[in-house]
Amino acid sequence: MQKLLPLFVVALGVFLADAATTSLDGIYSLVQRQIPQHENSFTFSLIAGGGDSFVISDSEGDSGGITVECTTVSACARGLYTYHFNTVTFDYTAAFWNFDQWELELDWLALRGVNLPLAWVGYEYILVQVFQEFGLTDADIASFLSGPAFQAWNRFGNIQGSWSGALPTQWINDQWALQQQIVQRMVELGMTPVLPAFTGFVPRAMSTLYPNASIVNGSQWEGFPSTLTYTTFLEPFDPLFTTMQKSFISKQQAAYGANVSHVYTLDQYNENDPYSGDVGYLANISAGTFASLQAADPEAVWMMQGWLFFASEAFWTTERIAAFLGAVPSNDSMIILDLYSEAAPQWQRTDSYYGKQWIWCELHDFGGNMGFEGNLPELVTGPIQALSNASSMRGMGLTPEGQEGNEIVYDILLDQAWSSTSIDIASYVEAWVARRYTVQDLPSAAQEAWTILSTTVYSNSDPNTQATIKSIFELAPDLSGLTDRTGHHCTEIPYDTNITIVPALQNLVQAATENPLLLSVPEFMYDVVDVTRQLLANRFIDVYNELVSTFYSTGVTAASVKNAGQPLLTILSDVDTLLWTNDNFLLSNWILGAINLSDNNGTYADYLEYNARNQITLWGPDGEINDYASKQWAGFVGTYYYDRWNMFITYLEDITQNGTAYNDTAIQTVMLNFGKEWDTQTYSLSATVSGDTMSIVDSLIQKWL
């Protein structure tokens, strides 16, 4: 994602979060990092006042400059009670980040007013210490922890163990060291980190060590084999749970300080139904969970994602939800993240979560997919309507599964959080484009491109397609079932490419022609590549349909199948060539990011690379969530998607030539085996960009418009 510096604006707001620090050093450091040429232009001062608010004014005197008066440190960076991150973002986007990348991300969050970020990194370090304290051996623990690219789902209790070898101690230690830096920076920026807590998910050996404890197994998740799911769960009403919770939080407090945060993220039923649906049982679970937090930290606030109430709606009836939430004393002792408010809000059917505090959240970006999608009208009206109708709503948040583009969607939501009335989208987009493309005499064509996109592509009101659109070329090739999918693997394009993407791209190219200075603006070049990428991804549907039609036509020949298949391969080759021109779209960023954490340990590097490759391809040892976290990256399109489709087209040619029937099982087995082979390879491609973006885009426009 491109990180942009927004213009400072005057805004006032009153929200819940207390500043984590009263030192302004972190804010001055932020200015030095992000706009060093203006580091002497800003003066910050803390003033008395309620909540998080700030006022900006011109500095007095001849020197000029800007004075920012704020009630909290977070407000100095533009603060409000805003939550950021989904637990899975830590794997889909940030699994292999170093501190340089985290530093940029935290600055980006601070400048957009986020003051309640999730802080999961390094969780396993303390968890291992707790497990050891309670008698579990290294082998017991190793059988439980998952690989680096899949830790989020181990933390959720969806999976246990690893299909790539035991989680190395070096990874655990290095991530813990990274977490120290992250939490320190969050505090410097006035943020309140949301820290993890003990969830109750434990290695299977706990049942043997504590035969009288209340320990059950969870449900199967996403078709994973029994060795890797049915996670063991220590029930919170068992006294052992509280003892382990106190051990975990006390160790965490010793590391960070007792008052860094009192907000704890704790999710126990993410796509994993409880052992019983009895309302008394559910009440005992939540009461025991909160009691354990309060025993460890009397000021504890339990934050949980509300995704379970949507994903398992058949189980979580309103009666069960009321029992589960109602057993936690005091409405201000919980914060519920209404995780998918933009498409499937749960706050209405739960009567505003029965009085518990909750945050209106935008989910978006399933699996870190890269297709264009957004609903700007909902983002500027939904939260305002909720605020006027739900007394327990306390803020707004972003909870994307990944963070791979579509930045206007995230920006407008965080800006809407600072307005008591709905933002005017047209005016907002005009100002957003002017900030994004910082050149004098910005051509109107650049504005027109985003006017088109914002009123069409980014005004999608269909909840069935409000997941980031995935190109069908990212899915395992087949003769059916690829197009018009809805839900998490959404491939249905909810707009007409010819009256949206095409004119938007034409306008961007026209803008560069009118003002070549745009070619030196990284954000502009990123957008040109991104819009062209989306054009080609959409055009792939057309040529795919032609291939299917040809294969089933009367008198089909191997030659006609080959001819119909060639445009698919041409598009894939063109996509790869295009993406190689921009550093933001390289597979090497992902894989080398993993390898570079190995400290030149070859065996460890191979382990990390396998994790990186497997997540974006098979997502499991045997393709259990195949292609869910797919990406359109240079080097990936060319060595994975191109090869799969080439094999598929060749297969169709062969069976047409031989007069044999199409065997879906056979070809999917070939694709699975290819994926397994690709996942075990080591990276050997270039890590630098190549080709001239505009000349390549010009040629692609001639070919595919």
Dig out the tokens for 622 from the structure: 């045997």
pLDDT of residue 327: 98
Q: What does each C-alpha distance from 320 to 281, 284, 309 come to in angstroms?
A: 10, 12, 10
So what's the pLDDT on residue 80?
Answer: 40
Q: Which residues are within 8 A (CB) of 100 and not within 5 positions of it... i.e. 6 or more apart?
A: none
Contacts of 526 (CB under 8 A, 6+ apart): 2, 582, 584
Q: How far apart are CA 233 and CA 240, in angstroms?
A: 12
Residue 27 confidence (pLDDT): 77
User: Are the C-beta atoms of residues 362 and 398 closer than 8 Å to each other?
Assistant: yes
- In this predicted structure, the answer to whether residue 84 has a pLDDT above a threshold of 90 is no
Sign of the four-CA dihedral 519, 523, 528, 533: positive
pLDDT reported for residue 158: 98
Least confident of 64-78, 150-164, 232-246, 613-627: 64-78
What are the structure tokens assigned to 545, written together? 């349909």
Q: What is the pLDDT of residue 542?
A: 98
CB 159 within 8 A of CB 219: no
* pLDDT surpasses 50 at 322: yes
For the stretch 16-37, pLDDT in tens is: 334 356 788 887 887 778 767 6
pLDDT tens digits, residue range 294-313?
999 999 999 999 999 999 99
Per residue in 118-145, pLDDT (tens digit) is: 999 999 999 999 999 999 999 999 999 9
Q: What does pTM read for this prediction?
A: 0.92
190: left (phi over 0), alpha (psi -120 to 50) or beta: left
The pLDDT value recorded for residue 71 is 75
Instruction: Tokens 């008394």: give the residue.
Output: 280
Q: Coil, strand or helix: which one is 397? A: strand
State residue 51's pLDDT score. 61
Question: What pLDDT does 74 receive?
Answer: 66
d(CA 582, CA 25) in angstroms, rounded, equals: 35
Q: pLDDT tens-digit profile of 252-281?
A: 999 999 999 999 999 999 999 999 999 999
Supply the pLDDT for residue 24. Answer: 84
Domains identified in the chain and CATH numbers: 75-374+385-422 (3.20.20.80), 444-455+496-704 (1.20.120.670)
- What is the four-CA torsion angle of 616, 622, 624, 629, rounded to 10 degrees? 0
Quick one: tokens of 297?
């930290």
Strands 54-58 and 66-70, by their bridges, are: antiparallel
Q: How many CB atoms lie within 10 A of CB 37?
A: 6
Type of residue found at 556: V
Q: Over range 345-350, report the average pLDDT.
A: 96
- Tell me, rounded to whole angstroms, the distance of Cα 386 from its chain centroid: 24
Q: Which residues contact 446 (CB under 8 A, 6 or more apart)?
A: 433, 437, 507, 508, 511, 518, 524
Give the residue among 192, 178, 40, 168 at the shortest CA–CA distance from 109. Answer: 192
pLDDT band, very low/low/confident/very high, at 59 (cuts 50, 70, 90):
low
Q: How far apart are CA 487 and CA 608, in angstroms?
A: 30
pLDDT top residue among 49 and 403: 403
Segment among 2-11, 536-545, 668-677 with least mean pLDDT: 2-11
Q: What tokens appear for 471 in the block? A: 């190109």
pLDDT, tens digit, 9 for 90 and up, residues 206-234: 999 999 999 999 999 999 999 999 999 99
